[in-house]
Amino acid sequence: MNVPEISEVKDHLDKLVKRGMVQSWELPYENLLTRRSAAIFFVMPLDNNSTSLLENELSKYENFSMRPNAERKLSDLPLRITFSKEEKEKNTKIEAN
């Protein structure tokens, strides 16, 4: 399914790969998604310095949040990126503790 707001993030991540900030990224179950807020992207940054740069790049999207992919259920890549208000609130609470 072609969802413009998801395609926008995918294109941005592809550009970050070309710029050397991201080694790889994944979007599981992409064909089932109908909106960006339901998408969970997984990312392998090039290095630790790239993580903060990645955050700066993607924070322009509404409800952006990023956290370590501790669950490793949908992907083995180390970072989990979402654009959901609920997920952002949850991640903010995790960071506060």
**Higher pLDDT residue, 50 or 9?**
9
What pLDDT, in 10s, does the model give residues 2-48? 899 999 999 999 999 999 999 999 999 999 999 999 999 999 999 88
What percent of the chain is modeled with pLDDT above 90?
77
End-to-end CA distance of the chain: 38
Main-chain phi, psi angles of 72, to 5 degrees = 55, 35
Three-state DSSP class for residue 38: helix
The whole-angstrom separation of Cα 80 and Cα 73 is 11
Q: What is the pTM of this model?
A: 0.91
Mean pLDDT, the chain, integer:
92
